[in-house]
Amino acid sequence: MKNKILSAVLCISMAAAMLTGCGSAAQEAAPSAEPAQEEEAPAQEEAQPEAAEEEQTTASEANEEGGYELALVTDLGTIDDKSFNQGAWEGMEKYAKENNISYKYYQPQEGTTDSYIETIGLAIEGGAKLVVCPGFLFEEPVYAVQDQYPDVHFILLDGEPHDADYNYKTNDNVMPILFQEDQAGYLAGYALVKDGYTKLGFMGGMAVPAVIRYGYGFVQGADAAAQEDGVDVEIMYNYTGAFAATPEAQAMAASWYQNGTEVVFGCGGAVGNSVMAAAEEAGAKVVGVDVDQSSESDTVITSAMKQLSVSVYDGVKAFYDGSFPGGATTVFTAANDGVGLPMESSKFEKFTQADYDALYQKLSGGEITIQNGTDDSTTADLTLAKVKVQYVE
Amino acid sequence: MSVIYFIFQQTMFFAIPLLIVALGGMFSERSGVVNIALEGIMTMGAFTSILFLNLTGGVMSGQGQLLIAIVIAMITGVVFSLFHAYAAINMKADQTISGTALNMFAPAFAIFVARIIQGVQQIQFSNTFRIESVPVLGSIPVIGDLLFQNTYITTYIGIAILIVSTIVLYRTRFGLRLRACGEHPQAADAAGVNVYRMQYAGVIISGALAGLGGLVFVVPTSTNFNATVSGYGFLALAVLIFGQWKPVRIMWASLFFGLTKAIASAYSGIPFLNNFGIPSYLYKMIPYIATLIVLIFTSKNSQAPRASGVPYDKGAR
């Protein structure tokens, strides 16, 4: 009998192990369709969130009759998440401070469409004229509220409003913002090959659209540079399936480095930290993602960035200038400085600022087209001349 | 050959934390207290010690800093496990429930405190602890490559813990009494053993080892701590069962788990394994399937301590 109880307990514990294992994954899986999640670019400057908190209190004190004109409703994260929420908050805060406008953030009780709509309503009751909604999860809530509050304006990051059946509709009071991550990936891939690296790796988090775009751009950028230089490039390619730092990710990166890979693009939040750990061990290099990650490890050679806070700042500014670009999706690309590499902190030896500027010019001018479909994630649908991709399941 | 060394070194990164934590679980269970809280204790141990590494980052470095962190991790584990001990031993609570409570509490606490202290939940640390090659020993052919290159001091601490555990459990009066409490506490009590004290000792040792295991788990595999040990505490429980509550078998079990996990993650960078074309899922399944099979064949004749999980009641016969 006791044995039975014991085995039951142990079974539960094993099940629990799997649940916790998946639990954290599931938490992240919930917004799996949310490119924002991949934004979980880890800690960078610790001072910023503190500053943000201080601002929060000053903002609260600034409570006047009109309430808070600018509102940000967070998704699953908080405004110090080093990710979408923080990026959006910083952009909004910057404009608000410059122009002395009251602002506040609201955190929904739970991550459901109903709860988001309720919180947006709360923000509007609190006097909000412009509501910033960071993340893919706000597609449905914004679809609903754009009709409900036609006088209020919305900025939706990384998504376009649609209903539960994926009928898309963007009213004039909504500004959806998307990024072309493939261009950032392209810049990184191109720069690495130009700098003399020929054995690369891409380790993504979950295969969500933003991650896939980064990866596809990375491969194609490497291919373009390889064709120009006439070298053969090999790329190891994998999605770890989570945005967490695990020994598995570390071991995989370590095995790639062991097998001769020189640089790995750690493209999935904390996955990058495992890659950095492996790179430190092997004395190899890493490409960071979303924000400039050079402060996290000396192994970071460059970072494929997208300008979250700039995009929100521009949106808020346009709203106050009376030129709110509602009704159509704004895509941040090289053409409007929405993506890029932080050249001042990059550790390239041959790839110069001039090379970068020339390439950036071509990207923004539309001379380079990047295949960025996200239906297939295995790179099998890419036609590559000089790059051999080894896709790892 | 270098591939074999590489796999072995990676195996150690997986196996050593599992070994340490499973040995901790062994002490607790052999004293008669099921310790499902291993996961939570690992998280707490990793949290405080990584926080220490973070705070002293610019001031200290190297093995001295790591050794202090180890002590901190163990103390944290002890303190945290005392909650479990009090609930399970004094209050005679259901041990699964109090363990689960600790598991749920630990990551929440780590995130909360980290946010208060530094604003974000990820705690950075710089890894200055890796030993490229142990002097003299590292240059021994084969063995030097396997055991004394690209390693951490924690690997040797893990091996030392294994040896000490085996001796303590089987060769000391304390070990005998501990085991007696896990098998038949009433009989042990009748023989004059203070069962409560023994069970406290078991849980405290498990707390110290699990806390240490948390640190050992995080250091080689990341550059920050994000309030999770990825289910390795639970995996250590599986190792404990696989090892049938016996130190040497636990070592083999953790090496086996470590090896399959290392191969599952690293095969893509190893040409001859990659050429087999076996999907990684299969490698990832192996430890779990093996545990199930072992459970099936040994459940009739399980070596589990008889009184494990049963609150000790002095009045019962």
For residue B274, what pLDDT is reported? 76
**At which of A179, A199, A224 does a domain end?**
A179
Q: What is the CATH number of the domain that holds A78?
A: 3.40.50.2300
Same domain, A139 and A99: yes
Tracing tokens 């993602």 back to the chain, one arrives at A289
pLDDT tier at A26 (50, 70, 90 boundaries)? very low
Q: Which residues of A touch B265 (CB under 8 A)?
A: 247-252, 255
Average pLDDT score over residue span A329-342: 88
pLDDT-wise least confident of A138-147, A177-186, A340-349, B297-306: B297-306
pLDDT tier at A4 (50, 70, 90 boundaries)? low
For residue A20, what pLDDT is reported? 46
For residue A210, what pLDDT is reported? 81
**Sequence-separated (6 or more) residues with CB below 8 Å from residue A41:** A82, A83, A269, A272, A288, A289, A290, A291, A293
Q: Bin A80: left if φ > 0, else alpha if -120 < ψ < 50, else beta.
A: alpha
Backbone angles phi, psi at B44, to 5 degrees: -65, -45
The range of the structural domain enclosing residue B118 comes to: 2-229
The range of the structural domain enclosing residue A148 comes to: 47-179
Which has more pLDDT, A223 or B308? A223
The 10s digit of each residue's pLDDT in A265-291 is 998 877 888 899 899 888 899 999 888
Average pLDDT score over residue span B100-107: 94
The 10s digit of each residue's pLDDT in A156-191 is 988 888 888 888 888 899 999 888 989 999 999 999
Judge whether B264 lies within some domain: no
Beta carbons of B280 and A244 less than 8 Å apart: no
A228 has a pLDDT exceeding 90: yes
Q: In this structure, what token pair is assigned to residue A65? A: 């009759």
Q: In this structure, what token pair is assigned to residue A95? A: 């404009």
Q: What is this structure's pTM?
A: 0.77
Domain count for chain A: 2
Judge whether A16 lies within some domain: no
Q: How many CB atoms lie within 10 A of CB A8?
A: 11
Q: Which of residues 86-115 of B touch A (CB under 8 A)?
A: 96, 100, 103, 115
Q: Which residues of B touch A42 (CB under 8 A)?
A: 122, 224, 226
Q: What is the 3-state secondary structure (H, E, C) of chain A?
A: CHHHHHHHHHHHHHHHHHHHHHHHHHHHHHHHHCHHHHHCCCCCCCHHHHHHHHHHHHHHHCCCCCCCCEEEECCCCCCCCCCHHHHHHHHHHHHHHHHCCCEEEECCCCCCHHHHHHHHHHHHHCCCCEEEEECHHHHHHHHHHHHHCCCCEEEEECCCCECCCCCECCCCCEEEEEECHHHHHHHHHHHHHHCCCCEEEEEECCCCHHHHHHHHHHHHHHHHHHHHHCCCEEEEEEECCCCCCCHHHHHHHHHHHHCCCCEEEEECCCHHHHHHHHHHHHCCEEEEEECCCCCCCCCEEEEEEECHHHHHHHHHHHHHHCCCCCCCCEEECHHHCCEECCHHHCCCCCCCHHHHHHHHHHHHCCCCCCCCCCCCCCCCCCCCCCEEEEEEC
For residue A37, what pLDDT is reported? 38
Chain A CA closest to residue B238: A14
A95 has a pLDDT exceeding 50: yes
For residue B185, what pLDDT is reported? 92
A18 has a pLDDT exceeding 60: no
A64 has a pLDDT exceeding 90: no
Which has more pLDDT, B87 or B289? B87
pLDDT-wise least confident of A132-141, B13-22, B26-35, B79-88: A132-141
A35 has a pLDDT exceeding 70: no
Same domain, A289 and A362: yes
Average pLDDT score over residue span A4-11: 56
Judge whether A312 lies within some domain: no
Interface test with B, best of A258, A298, A393 (most B CBs within 10 A): A258
pLDDT tier at A21 (50, 70, 90 boundaries)? very low
Query: What integer best gives the mean pLDDT of chain A?
Result: 81
Same domain, A165 and A219: no
Same domain, A230 and A360: yes
3-state SS assignment for residue B13:
helix
A295 has a pLDDT exceeding 90: no
Chain B CA closest to residue A235: B269
Q: DSSP assignment, residue B299? A: S
By percentage, how much of chain A surpasses pLDDT 90?
36
The 10s digit of each residue's pLDDT in B149-164 is 888 999 999 999 999 9
Same domain, A278 and A147: no
Judge whether A31 lies within some domain: no
Is the CB of B241 inside 8 Å of chain A's CB atoms?
A: yes
Judge whether B275 lies within some domain: no
For residue B276, what pLDDT is reported? 77
pLDDT tier at B265 (50, 70, 90 boundaries)? confident
Q: In this structure, what token pair is assigned to residue B24? A: 């901790």
For residue A7, what pLDDT is reported? 59
DSSP per-residue string spanning B149-193 = EEE-HHHHHHHHHHHHHHHHHHHSHHHHHHHHHHH-HHHHHHTT-
Domain count for chain B: 1
Q: How many CB pairs under 8 A join A and B?
A: 174
CA of A3 vs chain B CAs: smallest distance (Å) = 7
pLDDT tier at A36 (50, 70, 90 boundaries)? very low
Q: In the structure, how many helices (H) and strands (E) does chain B have?
A: 13, 4
Q: Give the nearest partner residue to B10 out of A251, A256, A259, using CB atoms.
A: A251
ipTM: 0.80
Same domain, A117 and A224: no
Which of A290, A332, A213, A238 has its CA nearest to residue A37? A290
For residue A77, what pLDDT is reported? 67
